Amino acid sequence: MKIISYNVNGIRAALKKEFVQWLKAADPDVVCLQETKAMQEQVDMTEIEALGYRHYWFSAQKKGYSGVAILSKTAPNNISYGTGIDHMDFEGRVIRAEYDNCSVISLYLPSGTNTDRLEYKFKFMDDFKEYIDTLKQDFPKLVICGDYNICHQAIDIHDPVRNKNVSGFLPQEREWLEHFLQSGFTDSFRYLNPDPHHYSWWSYRANARANNKGWRIDYALVSEALKENISRAYILPEAHHSDHCPVVVELQ
């Protein structure tokens, strides 16, 4: 099973940048999208359907904001829209597809760009951890793909010293991600790729992408029950539909 996670920073904008041609070439089984910024009825999915994908959307109540979706070549056994936690679901940040051998989540964790949102980010993180702790009792084989808006370690950010007080690399955020991993998950990319300078997001400013001054904030976290099934994990920085790039995990 080849699973791609991709914050597209607006699916309608990505579709204008040859997203469909890229998707055909990449040929994943499942795609977890974040920041779709659209309601399902606003997007012409004809070409994506022609590639064999079913699509499931969980959009924010606020139009043009946030939103997650899952594209799947196999019909899932079930789709769970949201978490049942109102404040999380209002912003369209979690959708889950159940398959015979695993459940795949598309997650869009909030950014903490100002004081109010940083407080909300911590609330979301705590509630999401609690949600997953409960969920994995019934679904131990989880793949949680998405934009976590957190760099885990210094190796995951181009300038750890200057960014130590910036949301996305705050000690409390990093501690939360470490604790989340220790609760029974593997960072699939780091599991197979110990070397530095691999990122999944770059600022639009100061030619950051061309200079590879990025952050690795997009992950495919795999539960311990599936760890031995990880066959490949990699990042696709050559895909330019967004300020993020896709991250991929392949499970045998």
Angle at 217 between CA 213 and CA 223, to 5 degrees: 145
**Mean pLDDT confidence for 202-227:** 97
- Cα-based distances in Å from 108 to 33, 69, 162, 229: 9, 10, 25, 25
Helix (H) or strand (E) holding 244: none
Which residues neighbour 25 within 8 Å (Cβ) at sequence distance 6 or greater? Answer: none
Q: Is the pLDDT of residue 104 over 90?
A: yes
Q: Delimit the domains of the chain by residue range.
A: 2-251
Supply the residues annotated as catalytic.
147
Q: What is the DSSP letter of 18?
A: T
Phi, psi angles (nearest 5°) of residue 135: -60, -40
What's the pLDDT tens digit per position in 122-167?
999 999 999 999 999 999 999 999 999 999 999 999 999 999 999 9
pLDDT of 251 = 98
- Considering the chain, what is the average pLDDT of its residues? 98
For residue 115, name the pLDDT band (cuts at 50, 70, 90).
confident
| pTM metric for this prediction | 0.98
**Maximal C-alpha separation, the chain:** 47
pLDDT of 238 = 97
- CATH T-level fold of 2-251: Deoxyribonuclease I; Chain A (3.60.10)
The pLDDT > 70 percentage for the chain reads 100
Strand order in the sheet with 78-81: 78-81, 94-98, 103-108, 142-147, 218-223, 185-187
Neighbours of 134 (CB within 10 A): 11
What's the pLDDT tens digit per position in 37-74?
999 999 999 999 999 999 999 999 999 999 999 999 99
Q: Is the pLDDT of residue 114 over 90?
A: no
What's the pLDDT tens digit per position in 179-195?
999 999 999 999 999 99
